[in-house]
């Protein structure tokens, strides 16, 4: 087999997670800027120009009636080929957001320095922990008044339960932001916002050992505070250890301001040095090595069209091993056939280009005539194995679905099952009730509207949704050993089954989960369903 190690080993594939408004888009744009994927003319309009480039592409997407998100971006930087996976925030937050994390080898967590850890970050972080992937933290908006640095790190450690290791340390914040102290070189890198929007400003580097120069550069007050903080930090902080970082137990932290272009390139360089090459993945034939094995990939996301006129779907695949060649046939393992992928494309910052080849670590989108499901494996025809399934993530909002016209039962069942298969919603039935009583669960409430809209437009079925108060869902582990009838829970508990027949419990109150576990010795409950 040809050796593709050079191409594969220069790839880094990561997802960006953050709470809306922390600066994920701005940071992504700056990454693209350094990689030359976006060219900026002039300096002041930097951000607007960059955003324009991305949104233009989104307009094209809309016209073509495909999705509305820039899901994957690829760019080159310093010999690396970098794939960024976007995890949509705001109201389009859905199970897809979680699934995207299954396709990444590491995560970049963006935190607003004035806010600390926020809700959305907490949710996405759980998935990173489950996957044990490395997490790199960028504390943004240091040009605005930020929380105390020690408090910020404490917040991450307490809220997320991960140790932190500052790579650099901010000198002041807001109007008093002077730059960062780089721990490795024991020098400060000064901030100037005069070069907003262009490449990272020319930085002045001063070693802290030259105390006179340090005081002259940042002033006595900032110098005193910094020297004191360095002493505290060196005495108290966790030691840096690459293995612990790669195991997802320690997060390196950098500070900066994406908007004014400070600290972004420093962060990117540290990140690239520490992040892993495409990781091996588990399959039913053992662990698959990205370099030694032929082509293989798995489907992590299917984007169906919201537009009635074009019912096409795009399946997004993460290549896990080898090289993909658009001329070659592939085996769709779950579909049991060998075929050629239709219109394979790579999604770039501002264009979609038909792709000829791609390597382990890359993401490709292919036209899906309705044959792929989330979690499916595609590989070279000479191979035949299945990657571990993608877990089902816990929905947080539930509603009972009522059909308005009972004569259209068949379309209704077909439609709702199809939409559930695409992974936009999850459907449950009460124990023994069959399809008479359908409960739908979603990760983000927008999915309720999507369901209603699609059933009406694509299946001509009108429904009414009646919200249910459940917020906590648990899959019953080892269901073959549990008698669901006899299981005694709390008064707010509901027993249901998912589409695959797995039993689950729904609760209104979080403490009911613990109570139910107490009342049923040996019972094990999980927040993730088996894929
Ligand atoms: P998101 O993708 O995480 O939702 O955040 P986004 O990058 O869109 O940033 C949210 C807001 O925060 C934007 O302002 C952006 O300009 C601002 N921002 C991002 N990074 C920084 C930073 O380092 N410092 C400061 N001071 N602000 C930052 P907006 O007013 O909502 O948008 P716009 O009008 O600038 O487009």
Q: Is there a single domain that holds both residue 68 and residue 115?
A: yes
Q: What is the pLDDT of residue 127?
A: 83
Average pLDDT over residues 329-342: 93
The predicted model scores a pTM of: 0.82
Is 456 a residue whose pLDDT tops 70? yes
Specify the pLDDT at position 465. 94
Tell me, yes or no, whether 374 and 419 share the same domain. no
- Comparing CA positions, the residue from 421, 412, 362 lying closest to residue 95 is 421
Of residues 399 and 236, more confidently modeled = 399
pLDDT at 149: 96
CA of 189 from ligand 1 middle (Å) equals 23
Using CA positions, which residue lies closest to atom 4 of ligand 1?
A: 21
Judgement on whether residues 31 and 106 belong to the same structural domain of the protein: yes
Residues 454 and 354 in one domain: no
The verdict on residue 83 lying in a domain is yes
CATH of the domain at 60: 3.40.50.300
So what's the pLDDT on residue 348?
A: 47
**Contact (CB, 8 A) for 347 and 37:** no
- The residue out of 379, 410, 430 marking a domain boundary is 379
C-alpha 22 – ligand 1 centre gap (Å) = 7
Residue 437's pLDDT band (boundaries 50, 70, 90)? confident
Phi-psi region of 367 (alpha: psi -120 to 50; beta: other; left: phi over 0): beta
Q: Give the range of the structural domain holding residue 508, as residue numbers without chain letter.
A: 397-526
> For the domain that residue 285 is a member of, what is the CATH number?
2.40.30.10
Single out the residue of 398, 404, 420, 397 nearest to residue 464, CA to CA: 404
The pLDDT value recorded for residue 531 is 62
pLDDT for 380: 97
Residue 112 sits in the same domain as residue 259:
yes
Of ligand 1's listed atoms, the one at least distance from the Cα of 28 is 7
pLDDT at 70: 47
**Structure confidence by residue, pLDDT tens digits, 204-226:** 788 888 999 999 989 999 999 99
Confidence of residue 339 (pLDDT cuts 50, 70, 90): very high
| Mean pLDDT score across all residues of the chain | 84
pLDDT tops 50 at residue 57: no
- Pocket probe for ligand 1: among 19, 23, 46, the residue whose CB has the most ligand atoms within 8 Å is 23
Cα 260 to ligand 1 centre (Å): 10
- Say whether both 288 and 251 belong to one domain: no
124-138, 336-350, 398-412: which has the minimum mean pLDDT? 336-350
CATH code, 465:
3.30.70.3280
Q: Are residues 348 and 264 in the same domain?
A: no
Q: Has residue 79 got a pLDDT over 50? A: yes
Q: How far is CA 302 from CA 104, 107, 186, 390, 441, in A?
A: 16, 21, 47, 13, 18
Task: Tell me, yes or no, whether 196 lies in a domain.
Answer: no
Alpha-carbon gap, residue 50 to 73, rounded angstroms? 14
Order of strands, edge to edge, in the sheet holding 397-403? 463-468, 397-403, 438-442, 426-430, 494-498, 503-507, 472-476, 525-526
Q: Are residues 159 and 301 in the same domain?
A: no
Q: What's the pLDDT tens digit per position in 148-203?
A: 999 999 999 999 989 999 999 999 999 999 999 999 888 898 887 555 545 555 56
Q: Would you state the structure tokens that stand for residue 211, as one six-digit string?
A: 């105390």
301 and 446, same domain (yes or no): no
Q: What is the pLDDT of residue 200?
A: 54
Same domain, 417 and 348: no
- Please state, in angstroms and rounded to a whole number, the distance separating the CA atoms of residues 43 and 46: 5
Tally of CB atoms within 10 A around 524: 13
Q: What is the pLDDT of residues 365-406, one digit of tens each?
A: 888 887 888 899 999 999 999 999 888 888 889 999 988 888
Give phi and psi for 459, each to the nearest 5.
Answer: -120, 0
Work out how many domains the chain is built from and give that number: 3
Nearest atom within ligand 1 for CA of residue 258 = 23
pLDDT of residue 453: 86
Signed CA dihedral, 516, 518, 522, 528: sign only: positive
User: 77 by DSSP, 3-state: which?
Assistant: strand
Taking only the tens place, the pLDDT of each residue in 10-56 is 999 999 988 888 998 889 888 888 876 554 432 222 333 334 334 33
If you measure from the C-alpha of residue 139 to the centroid of ligand 1, how many angstroms do you get, rounded to a whole number? 13
In-domain check, residue 210: no
- 257 Cα nearest atom in ligand 1: 23
Atom 34 of ligand 1: nearest residue by CA position: 48
Predicted confidence band of residue 92 (pLDDT cuts 50, 70, 90)? low
Quote the ligand 1 centre to 350 CA distance (angstroms).
20
pLDDT in tens, 476-523: 999 999 999 899 999 999 999 988 889 999 999 999 999 999 999 999
User: Tokens 């009406």 sit at which residue?
Assistant: 456
The answer to whether the beta carbons of residues 271 and 110 sit under 8 Å apart is no
Residue closest by Cα to atom 21 of ligand 1: 259
* Same domain flag for 101 and 243: yes
How remote is the CA of residue 45 from the centroid of ligand 1, in Å? 14
| Within a domain: 201 | no
**Residue 361 and residue 433 share a domain:** no
Which range (78-82, 281-285, 380-384, 417-421) has the least confidence?
A: 417-421
What residues does ligand 1 touch, defined as CB less than 6 Å away? 18, 20-26, 89, 140-141, 143-144, 257-259
* CA neighbor of 443 nearest in space, from 24, 70, 91, 69: 91
Ligand 1 centroid vs 11 CA: distance in angstroms?
A: 28
């Amino acid at each position: 087999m040809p050796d593709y190690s050079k191409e594969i080993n220069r790839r880094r594939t990561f997802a960006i997670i953050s709470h809306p408004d922390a600066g994920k888009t701005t940071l992504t744009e700056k990454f693209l800027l350094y990689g030359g994927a976006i060219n900026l003319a002039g300096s002041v309009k930097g951000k607007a120009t960059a955003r324009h480039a991305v949104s233009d592409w989104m307009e094209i997407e809309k016209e073509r009636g495909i999705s509305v998100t820039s899901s994957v971006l690829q760019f080159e930087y310093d010999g690396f080929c970098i794939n960024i996976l976007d995890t949509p925030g705001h109201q389009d937050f859905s199970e897809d957001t979680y699934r995207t994390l299954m396709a990444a080898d590491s995560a970049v967590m963006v935190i607003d320095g004035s806010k600390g850890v926020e809700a959305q970050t907490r949710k996405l972080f759980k998935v990173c922990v489950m996957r044990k992937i490395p997490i790199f933290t960028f504390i943004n908006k240091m040009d605005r008044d930020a929380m105390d640095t020690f408090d910020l790190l404490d917040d991450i450690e307490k809220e997320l339960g991960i140790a932190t290791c500052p790579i650099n340390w901010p000198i002041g914040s807001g109007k008093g932001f002077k730059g960062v102290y780089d721990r490795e070189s024991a020098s400060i890198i000064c901030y100037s916002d005069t070069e907003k929007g262009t490449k990272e400003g020319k930085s002045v580097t001063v070693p802290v050992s030259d105390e006179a120069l340090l005081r002259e550069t940042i002033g006595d007050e900032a110098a005193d505070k910094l020297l004191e903080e360095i002493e505290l930090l060196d005495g108290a902080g966790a030691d840096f250890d690459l293995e612990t970082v790669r195991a997802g137990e320690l997060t390196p932290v950098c500070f900066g301001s994406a908007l004014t272009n400070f600290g972004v390139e420093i962060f990117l360089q540290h990140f690239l040095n520490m992040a892993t090459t495409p990781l091996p993945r588990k399959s039913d034939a053992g662990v698959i090595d990205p370099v030694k094995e032929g082509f293989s990939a798995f489907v992590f996301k299917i984007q169906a069209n919201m537009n009635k006129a074009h019912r096409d779907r795009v399946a997004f695949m993460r290549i896990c091993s080898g090289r993909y060649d658009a001329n070659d046939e592939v085996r769709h393992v779950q579909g049991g056939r060998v075929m050629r992928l239709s219109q394979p494309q790579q999604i770039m910052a501002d264009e979609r280009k038909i792709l000829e080849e791609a390597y382990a670590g890359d993401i490709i989108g292919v036209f899906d005539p309705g044959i792929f499901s989330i979690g499916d494996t595609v590989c070279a025809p000479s191979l035949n194995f299945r990657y571990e399934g993608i877990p089902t993530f816990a929905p947080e909002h539930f509603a009972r679905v009522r059909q308005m016209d009972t004569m259209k039962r068949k379309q209704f069942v077909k439609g709702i099952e199809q939409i559930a298969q695409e992974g936009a919603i999850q459907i449950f039935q009460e124990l023994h009730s069959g399809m008479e009583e359908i409960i739908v669960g979603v990760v983000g409430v927008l999915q309720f509207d999507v369901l209603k809209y699609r059933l009406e437009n694509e299946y001509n079925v009108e429904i009414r949704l009646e919200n249910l108060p459940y917020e906590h869902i648990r899959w019953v582990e080892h269901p073959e050993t549990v008698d669901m009838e006899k299981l005694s829970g709390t008064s707010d508990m509901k027993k249901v089954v998912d589409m695959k027949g797995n039993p689950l419990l729904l609760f209104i109150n979080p403490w009911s989960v613990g109570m139910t576990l107490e009342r049923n010795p040996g019972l094990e409950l999980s927040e993730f369903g088996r894929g």
